[in-house]
Structure 1
């Protein structure tokens, strides 16, 4: 039953740990800082926190280059600090989801050091090694997601190793049974410590074409796009052999009660939904990023939601994401006025929403001076606007120096308006986006129709869309104006007479609704349908 499954009824809150709260005055967020701020998550009303990687790492890619899967990087604390965090989270009724990075390790991982030591090392086949191509160069034309060839020549053994990202991030060979079991033991290590689930990084990359064929050219590529777009990644990712791997991963989690497996998947809807697996044996929640890339037009969003609902496998549970650590923040994409509409959309569509830290206060994109850039992708391909640092800046908590995030200059700049756009100031303001988001979450928790109810479209035009959620005899109507101009939406006769529960602009709560709902510019309404 969806209402009894925490990851179906609840809200996931993503934390980028470097940027949430610094507890020791080094300008970097850490686990103790997260523990100190758990009450904010309870106050806000979310159900689970997902923490981006905290494993030991050289930090060539912000922790996504893992050097040890069963420990904590000293930057973030220790295993003891992690155990305290998970105990405190559970005591508050919060679940904790850990990031799992199984596609690649750091080149400083002990496994890779063994693998590259000789061609006969027992761990040689734990990574992907190939002889040079006929011309002595890379084995094929595959491109790194961060630009340039995805193959790095190793002088010691005279072969190339494959890296889908940085050369310091060699890809693991998931076709090797011993490697696979070692990774499953890693999952068990954290599950035994009480972790409630995993978000699996780039899960669609795990299996590659065993013949290592060249990727074909991308006919839509244009100069100025990232280098990775030059080719279609048909052989280097999304290989059909992945489903067996995910099914085995899911079996590991299913041996523990009430856990969740989330997969990061940047694919079109028709490919995304296949990651639920045959008979739902795959990821519980293949991440749905469609709203991140959607054009902000009512008809387009309605069509996207309809397509997703239609293509979900029977019994598959939907999910929605508006922002994350790799993508521009929603307020940066649609503006502050529409950020409230976006929050209402995220938190009222059917399925599990993931809320990115800082979106509750409408954090904008933050300008990063060239001398403070941290993102290796931006450093590899500067000047084309792909840097991820603007979405990873510190959380502004209050009006004290450094916004209460730290006692020293943070690792990335704060938002320029931090003295007013911070949690403490906006919590005191009943009209702030933070107060609005909290009220919206409270209504979602109160109303079964919003948590687990059916999605039924009402209408969509050039300016607005409306839909209803229903569970039993409870119905909630959502009407959203995606423009700055006043607009009216017509409701079916059986929905006349409802009362406004919440307006994104305020001032209309309790108002009775007839056959036509007038929306102010940038206004969204949540309406309790008449019974």
Structure 2
């Protein structure tokens, strides 16, 4: 099924975590002028859209996702004039900017919340969620925040609790209040008036709460229960989202990609249907959270290749009927994909290229996270002192308090900490990887002399050059954008593959996820369009080989 064309379907998106991208003034923190200085690199890579993580004024309890002022830029990132310059300089290179829309919560230092907590009868009291203590004098419910601990924080001055789905310094806005919704919509319009093309919509499925605020069933031996049953994709949320679409998104022709945990495949039409759905695209988490299961926290669960492929293919099949996906393997909330899904040792280059081919040519808009195009890896940390992420530090502390060993907790963080995706961008083999002239805010991966953009620009068999070739291949072939998706080797624990077809055009993608040669059926009438190995054996895929064939009907096979 070919859905209607759209510029954002044909685009390539690059995600920037500004704190770690490029520092321009030597304070060790990336900034907007640093982003501007690298726009030519992004243009040459083939990027059409930049998603920039929050640069709003913030106390930085959760690295910018706790916003103090939606209309100001955090000083360490620059000024509003710098943001305007970025928008203009990007537009001059044919690049659009998408910003993070963080509308489930604000910082507890936001002027709205300062007013809200000042007294029970303040006009903005109902802009947030306040409840008196429960019958036992404790928190109103047993809900646990996503960052651990109770989702309720007691305010001594007014004698009530406020709700926070995330950090206690991130109080949730009360979306039941129409004044709150209108304030959010006006803020969105303000940014679009400045030239923003749309939004990556953060944690949007948490905005609706079960208004009965019930006690939820907790796991055996625990007092607190996951708040998902009361504050994740709750009935009635679509009323809010459709209002947002009607009032802001549709009139402004905004492109949107929703961070939407808790949305099952059965609800895809509500969120993504091209006529009646709310958002342009959606991030799903099934493939990146394969190693997480219900039960005790900070426990790493093994997974199989078939689990990974099933997680991606299921969404491919479902969205083919209704809408469009955002394709990704890593971002600022997850570890490096080559360390998780590939081999970050001997076969780092090959496996990073193979993973790129596998996800990049599926049906949807590909997102590249900064450094992914270099095959950046998880960073070895010497101890808990090297970590910064609020969630990692909380898990570590709670693990030790529950009797788990330091060794066990550090082993978990080595596999799951969000800090692995946040280490500074590796631009060169020079001082501090070319990221900063000062002391970097977070540890730089010591492998930067071998893995950096400057070196890979010179090496045409590098991960960076393979991404450039993938981008060109997708841009030049409509079937790789709009074609149907048909999975191959669904039951294999070694090979991943699929076919994209449109009209009489047919493309086959075959990937070996192992360190060993694997027998594979090659397309009978396929011409090899791109491969990450120089020497191929007919009928076999080399270790971590990715080969892409275009059916031509003449049976030849050439590079």
How far apart are the structure 2 equivalents of 1:390 and 1:318?
25
CA contact (8 A) 1:296 1:482 kept: no
How far apart are the structure 2 equivalents of 1:371 and 1:344?
36
CA contact (8 A) 1:273 1:286 kept: no
Bigger mean CA deviation after superposition, 127-136 or 518-527: 518-527
Q: 1:470 to 1:47 in 2, by over 3 A?
A: same
Shift of 1:507: 4.3
Match for residue 469 of structure 1?
Answer: 500
* Alignment counterpart, residue 377 of structure 1, candidates 384, 391, 409: 391
Given the alignment of the two structures, is residue 501 of structure 1 paired with residue 529 of structure 2, yes or no? Answer: yes
Match for residue 417 of structure 2?
Answer: 387
Alignment of 1:24-173 (within 5 A): 24-173=25-174
Match for residue 435 of structure 2?
Answer: 405
How far apart are the structure 2 equivalents of 1:271 and 1:82?
39
How far apart are the structure 1 equivalents of 2:23 and 2:178?
40
The alignment partner of 2:260 has SS state of coil
Q: 1:274 to 1:448 in 2, by over 3 A?
A: closer
Match for residue 469 of structure 2?
Answer: 439
CA contact (8 A) 1:129 1:162 kept: yes
Shift of 1:321: 1.7
Given the alignment of the two structures, is residue 525 of structure 1 paired with residue 547 of structure 2, yes or no? Answer: yes
In the alignment, structure 2 segments of 5+ residues that lack a partner are 291-301, 397-408, 554-559
How far apart are the structure 1 equivalents of 2:218 and 2:145?
15
Match for residue 261 of structure 2?
Answer: 266
CA contact (8 A) 2:54 2:99 kept: yes
Match for residue 421 of structure 1?
Answer: 451
In the alignment, structure 1 segments of 5+ residues that lack a partner are none
Q: 1:75 to 1:391 in 2, by over 3 A?
A: same
Shift of 1:289: 2.6
Match for residue 360 of structure 2?
Answer: 347
How far apart are the structure 2 equivalents of 1:264 and 1:275?
15
How far apart are the structure 1 equivalents of 2:316 and 2:418?
30
How far apart are the structure 2 equivalents of 1:247 and 1:313?
22
Deviations for 1:158-214, whole angstroms, at most 9, x for unmatched residues?
Answer: 100001111111110000000100000010010101101101111110001001012
Provide the aligned C-alpha RMSD in A.
2.2
CA contact (8 A) 1:272 1:288 kept: no
TM-score, normalising length from structure 1?
Answer: 0.92
Match for residue 281 of structure 1?
Answer: 277
Shift of 1:31: 0.7
The alignment partner of 1:484 has SS state of coil
Bigger mean CA deviation after superposition, 196-205 or 340-349: 340-349
The alignment partner of 1:468 has SS state of strand
CA contact (8 A) 1:12 1:355 kept: yes
Shift of 1:241: 1.3
CA contact (8 A) 2:144 2:227 kept: no
CA contact (8 A) 2:23 2:436 kept: yes
CA contact (8 A) 1:115 1:126 kept: yes
Shift of 1:271: 5.8
Alignment of 1:313-328 (within 5 A): 314-328=321-335
CA contact (8 A) 1:272 1:286 kept: no
Corresponding residue pairs, total: 515
TM-score, normalising length from structure 2?
Answer: 0.88
The alignment partner of 2:87 has SS state of helix
CA contact (8 A) 2:371 2:425 kept: yes
Match for residue 183 of structure 1?
Answer: 184
Deviations for 1:475-529, whole angstroms, at most 9, x for unmatched residues?
Answer: 21101111111112225xxx41322111122345xx9xxxx74211111101111
How far apart are the structure 1 equivalents of 2:303 and 2:27?
39
The alignment partner of 2:392 has SS state of helix
How far apart are the structure 1 equivalents of 2:289 and 2:390?
22
How far apart are the structure 2 equivalents of 1:274 and 1:150?
31
